Chain A
Amino acid sequence: MSGPFELNSGFFPGELASMALGPWSNVSRSESGLVSFSSAADEDATVEAPHWCVDLDGDLSQALAMLEAGDRSLLDTETRLVQISDRFDRTIEIARTSEAGQVSFSSEVLPDSESRLLDDWNDAFAPARHGEATENIPRAAAKSRWSEMAASARSAIEAVWRLVSQHSWVDTRLRGRLVASTFMTVSGDTRLTVGPQLTAETAFLHRRSFSLAVRTRDAWARLLTSVLQISARIARVAAVPHSFVTALPIVWKFARNVLAEIDTLRQLSRQHQT
């Protein structure tokens, strides 16, 4: 395993490989060697279901420290997820007021995620509102950029959808030894299997591991619904054809950038400490 928290899934495109939520490292099933050699239909069933693997130190205090770190990391992600919608709306409001000439003369600099969102937004939507195009899917260079974003968003959204629409397993290992495994369906039906020599410590560690995994899966689902919600909201107010599908890649990219800020902050923090 690449770390104590590993999410194995049969379908992690490049777009998602580097976009982990919480403490988890995303590993495509083919990379982890858990590929099926059965028929295509069977493969679909076995390869896709995600496997949340937590491999903890045998020492309880070390294991607890690992889980605490995982909790903090997930909390960062959950906090950012909550911000996405408001930050998006504020940025789009800036785009609209700028168009109307209500520009601010302050020297405030927008965060990088917001700046990029403004660029993407103007590429995609400004021409239609100015009457320069009859459709709001941008042309030429802008269209090319948008197409790349759309392809990327499509594969990423599909991967996230597969992740949250499948049942999953959560395994807790102590130094590589499997001590508890839980199977959970999308709607929450749960099947726990533990060994006969269940100790209080093992039970506690699995409970925490399971909680982390479920919360992270919920975070992925929330990310997905947020992106859809924001895109649909735009579709309603934009009142131009294709506005939903035009907005979807832009919103996805913005959400991804906001979540990536966590890594940037961590790196800065590490640099500061050293």
Chain B
Amino acid sequence: MSTKESEELVFNGIDGQTGEYLLPPMSQADIAEVAKGKPLSGAELKDLNAKARVASQANFAVAEGIDANDLAQAGWAVVFPAAEGGSTEAKKQAAIREALSPLLDRRRVQASRNNERYYREYDYRPGESKQKFLARLGAAPGPADPKKVPYYLLLVGSPEDIPFRVQYQVDIQYAVGRIYFDTLDEYDTYARAVIAAETLQVARVRKAVFLGVENPNDVATRLSHRYLVNPLADYAERDQGERGWAVDRVLRNQASADRLRGLLRDNPPAFLFTASHGVGFASGSEKQLPFQGALLCQDWGGPKSGGISREHYVAGEDIASDVDLRGMMGFHFACYGAGTPKSDQFARGRGQRGNAKAPYDFLSRLPQRMLGTAGAMAAIGHVDRAWGTSFLWADERGKGKKQLAVFESTVKSLLEGNRIGYAMEHFNVRYAELASDLTAVIEDIEYSDEEVSDRELAQMWIQSNDARNYAVIGDPAVRLAQPGDQPDLAGASETPHMPSIAIAGAGQNRPEKASAAQSPTEPENRSHYQTSQHKDKDVEMQVAPESESDAGMDSYGIFSRDKDGDDPGLLGRLANRVSETLGKAIADAMTLEVRTYVSRDVGSAVGQDSDLASSDHTQLRAYTRCKLDGDTDVCVPLQGDGDQVDEQLWSLHTEMVKQAQAHRAEMIKMVLSAVGGTLRRK
């Protein structure tokens, strides 16, 4: 957005068909009227005030004394849309849950290390407000208290099932992310990709790329290039250069669609920041679902150049199935970069074309493909339009001043390895402050007839909504790898687990797989699950017959189903069991214990699985416990009743410790090699 001489506001967002701005410029008076008509509810305001109040505290995200980056302290939960038991929807949720199970298992281990209630699985009931949702879970307004509701919340569902509004509101006090994909295969890919990144099976170069478009004669991108991308890249270089981050700038004429496609295809950076227009289409257009929110690059000649062609923007379909973005995060400043709401708040009451933005709320295809197809960890984007007020603050004369603190703080936080949901707290605090200020101003206008200029009111309202609408697509607990990180193997038991749902069907994102599924070699009774935010009639979700599902027949993932119940399936299942077992061994290997007993009857100890009880015959004489992080407890044996170490026994014991450690290292190496090199599909 920019302020022109005429006091009109120009918006980001270009109509993909006409090349015109999606929403014609509006006067500040119009915006101010909209703002006055949309005050916050009392409960929302209470939350926002509380958030703004505690924002000055050092740790504003969670209750005092809690390290928000430690899942064992902050907690983690997944939220599915509620479904009636036995219904088709319930089966769909169960299938999605199973596809995500490697990630859920990992988070369970990480979060429930100290308290099993710090890992939770919730449902969201249709129509619930944020307050009702949290109240049902036992949480009161205020900083997140993981004892009641974990701080990190991963929503798994379309914005039709779990509304954007609930996401925004819960995000005020919690770290919220969302995933929603068209196929179970994408859930599976995403879960594995996160684990691969967190267990350091993939290593991205510590490079941050800042891509800034400046289309000719276009005010919005001129501002974002000048006041957002360029200075933000400078800041990152200055602040993070010594921490090993290389910063690349891809600006103006370099910021072509081909260049961006290349960045996403060949050697992608660990962190990619883009600022551009997002492409929009009229509600119901057949191009809207696949292309809305696509990143419009330098190729477009600006608002006076006429229409936009497909070559001008980078969309979800540009992420090919062999692209590998694991370990990467994206931040895309663009209209609809994360999603599109059904209705347009900014044009309300003006009879604008944008009143109904889409037939229903939906996520943008680009981040979906980045995560579900290419395995990126997360993408930050904007739901609805993005505004220049994100980085420009109008002074009392209405002149824009650069204000980058929120972006700088967020980028710094991400590059330094904070979890993305926590890093986004800077935006949440900004929203809380702006929204509560705005509501106070509106109350002043209503109750005390205080004079507030339209410009000020419009500015505050836009800023507030703009700050609110940033959303994380992905698990809010992911983080960029840092030098010195050790492979976090918690819950990696399921890492090599093959996808247990056979995915196929008419997924529009993966035509190559659809054709394979339809080959005559596929079993006729194969279960096809297709989740989709498409509402078209020709996209159906087929649910496996109850008996088949119950029998666990669809549990061998990429090993495919045997056609006639013969060898291939058994082999595949066996391979899955092997990989599961090896993986579980890793989880068990977090702590290593070696005990040495002396017994007058050595034979009596043979065959006993459990620890030996000390008795007249058998005594525990030496003990060592080593954790993977290096913590070690040792009990040394003494000779008889004296205070001399029993060197003989101690020497043997320490040798056994060494061998046990060597075995553990070898086992971990083997499993990681299997998982990282081969058993994963990328």
Contacts and interface: CB of A to CB of B under 8 A. Distances in A.
5 contacts: A134-B520, A161-B581, A193-B602, A203-B648, A207-B656
Interface residues of B, number: 71
B36 to A, nearest CB: 59
Contact of A192 (B575, B581, B652, B678): B652
Contacts of A165: 578, 581-582, 585
A244 B559 contact: yes
A214 B659 contact: yes
A98 interface: no
Interface string B576-599: 011101100110110011111111
Rank and list the top 3 A-B pairs by shortest CB-CB distance, nearest first.
A245-B568, A187-B588, A229-B678
B521 A241 contact: yes
A248 interface: yes
Given A245-B559, A245-B571, 17 more contacts: A157-B571, A178-B602, A179-B602, A180-B602, A181-B602, A183-B609, A187-B667, A188-B663, A194-B602, A196-B598, A203-B649, A203-B655, A221-B667, A225-B673, A232-B678, A242-B568, A244-B558
A153 B602 contact: no
A236 interface: yes
A244 B572 contact: yes
Interface of B: 516, 519-522, 558-560, 562-563, 566-572, 574-575, 577-579, 581-582, 585-586, 588-589, 592-600, 602-603, 605-609, 611-612, 618, 648-649, 651-653, 655-657, 659-664, 666-667, 670-671, 673-674, 677-679, 681
A116 interface: no
Interface in A201-218: 203, 206-207, 210-211, 214, 217-218
Contact of A242 (B521, B574, B607, B652): B521
Given A187-B585, A193-B612, A210-B656, A154 B648 contact: no
Interface residues on A, range: 35 or more
A154 B570 CA distance: 8
Nearest to A133: B521
A198 B562 contact: no
Interface string A212-252: 00100110011011001111110110000110111011000
Contact of B678 (A135, A178, A211, A233): A233
B679 A228 contact: yes
B514 to A, nearest CB: 13
A200 B647 CA distance: 10
A137 interface: yes
B667 A218 contact: yes
Describe A's contact surface by its main secondary structure: helix
Nearest to B594: A190
Contact of A188 (B519, B521, B567, B661): B661
A195 interface: yes
A38 B521 CA distance: 45
Interface in A122-147: 134-135, 137, 147
Nearest to A193: B605
Contacts of A207: 652, 655-656, 659
B648 A198 contact: yes
A190 B660 contact: yes
Contacts of B581: 161, 164-165, 186
A158 interface: yes
A188 B678 contact: no
A225 B599 contact: no
A238 to B, nearest CB: 12
A185 interface: yes
